Amino acid sequence: MDTIKYLLQEQDIPKYWYNIQSDLPEPAAPVLHPGTKQPVGPDDLAPLFPMELIMQEVSTEREIEIPEPVRDIYRQWRPTPMYRARRLEQMLDTPARIYYKYEGISPVGSHKPNTAVPQAFYNKQAGVKRLTTETGAGQWGSSLAMACSFFGIECEVYMVRVSYDQKPYRRGLMEAYGASVTASPSNKTNAGRSILAEHPDSTGSLGIAISEAVELAATSDDTKYALGSVLNHVLLHQSVIGLESMRQMEMADDGVDILIGCTGGGSNFAGIAFPFIGKKLRGEGGPRVIAVEPSACPSLTKGKFAYDFGDTAHLTPLTKMHTLGSTFVPPGFHAGGLRYHGMAPLVSHLHDIGEIDAISYNQLQTFRAGLQFAQAEGILPAPEANHAVAAAIEEAEKCREEGVSKSILFNLCGHGNFDMQAYIDYQAGKLVDYEYAEEEIAMALAGLPVV
């Protein structure tokens, strides 16, 4: 009764990314120019992204070919393993069959390199010399730093001040890959300087860091910007997770009844879920899909489906998404990767048309689930991934109570090696559940742009 691994061969690394825009019953709402409020064209985005990525952003082709140099690098850790968690099933005494796809074996320990590598590749191809980006906890920043070091591109990361001070290890990793890391808000940009003028002690936010990185890219010729989640092309690149999982479920000779992913910006969730949802949209059937978010940053469960900015300084285009308002600052909880005020437009759209269920958990329940998982399966999950683990355990316990055997698949998007302080705090009883303030969200939502 031990954990079973389902391992694909190198030739099984997908040759094409899957683009869910091809299968939508109605297209997602267009992205709007922040000034004119008219749909943006490719040229509007050209200062920020190379044309190949812009074309992917708006493509409605079902399959987009993965360039060979990108597959060459994917090969280093892909195909990633899928496991049947039989030791966990035993621990839970459940008739459920629990599967997890494990993205933590990438060199930086998460799914983020799946998009960092193609983004660096297309930028290199377009002659870009430098990429700017933002990072919160540092998963994305270290992935882009690694990808840039492979392609010989400079990497400049704006790291939320509070993480910069409290999480020196992720910063150290980015610097090990040769990236330069700046605490945000900084004096290097207008956006940063204006925040600092008003709040000299600002601890920063992802929205502010995005403003800084975007401003730098928009105002330098040889520099572009890279985003680690939310955008359509990022979700597209992550589809390798779900495409591989489908083949691995065939190896396991099993179907999926319940599919689970955690959501911050939406990219790891979309990565595993979109290929399955696409089949469903094409009438071929598919699982119930659950997005799990933290109660402390509940964009899908408590936010509004409306046009909003991606950043605090309102430099980005307007996208229609589930949002808590671009001025919403989530409280200090430990899943740093899930602290974004918005949700990927494609995830939001699919939630809106009823293809995705959303639930939220408080952090104590997720850490409890993560430790249970570690003791059964050996892998200590990232706090973000613990949200998916907690949902899988809850569904497996329901199976036990109801005496039914369902097949549950979740995405274990990363390991927790860089999050030990959170586990130590949890085990020392120092973490508390946070009840977000309804009025804070209401206030942030009241500030949504009028479109």
Instruction: Provide the binding-site residues for a copy of itself, judged by CB under 8 A.
Output: 2-5, 7, 9-10, 69, 72-73, 75-76, 83, 87, 105, 107-109, 146, 149-150, 168-169, 171-173, 175-178, 371, 374-380, 417-418, 420-421, 423-424, 427
Please list, in sequence order, all residues whose beta carbon lies within 8 angstroms of the beta carbon of residue 314, skipping any fewer than 6 positions away.
34, 211, 326, 449
Please list, in sequence order, all residues whose beta carbon lies within 8 angstroms of the beta carbon of residue 406, skipping any fewer than 6 positions away.
96, 97, 257, 258, 395, 399
* β-sheet bridge partners, residue 83: 5, 100
Shortest spacing between CB 5 and a copy of itself, in angstroms = 6
- For residues 126 and 424, which CB has a smaller minimum distance to a copy of itself in the complex? 424
Tokens 């377009």 label which residue? 126
Shortest spacing between CB 177 and a copy of itself, in angstroms = 6
Shortest spacing between CB 25 and a copy of itself, in angstroms = 40
Shortest spacing between CB 76 and a copy of itself, in angstroms = 5
End-to-end CA distance of the chain: 57
Assigned token pair, 222: 């040889």
Shortest spacing between CB 416 and a copy of itself, in angstroms = 8
- For residues 313 and 382, which CB has a smaller minimum distance to a copy of itself in the complex? 382
Crossing angle for the helix pair 267-281 and 345-352, nearest 10 degrees?
A: 40
Among 350, 336, 335, smallest CA distance to 387 is for 335
Shortest spacing between CB 118 and a copy of itself, in angstroms = 14
Shortest spacing between CB 199 and a copy of itself, in angstroms = 28
- For residues 196 and 371, which CB has a smaller minimum distance to a copy of itself in the complex? 371
- For residues 253 and 438, which CB has a smaller minimum distance to a copy of itself in the complex? 253
- For residues 7 and 126, which CB has a smaller minimum distance to a copy of itself in the complex? 7
- For residues 147 and 392, which CB has a smaller minimum distance to a copy of itself in the complex? 147
- For residues 150 and 434, which CB has a smaller minimum distance to a copy of itself in the complex? 150
* β-sheet bridge partners, residue 318: 32, 309
Among 44, 179, 181, 185, smallest CA distance to 116 is for 179
Task: Please give the full DSSP string across 124-189, using - where no structure is assigned.
Answer: HHTT--EEEEEESSSHHHHHHHHHHHHHT-EEEEEEEHHHHHH-HHHHHHHHHTT-EEEEES-SSS
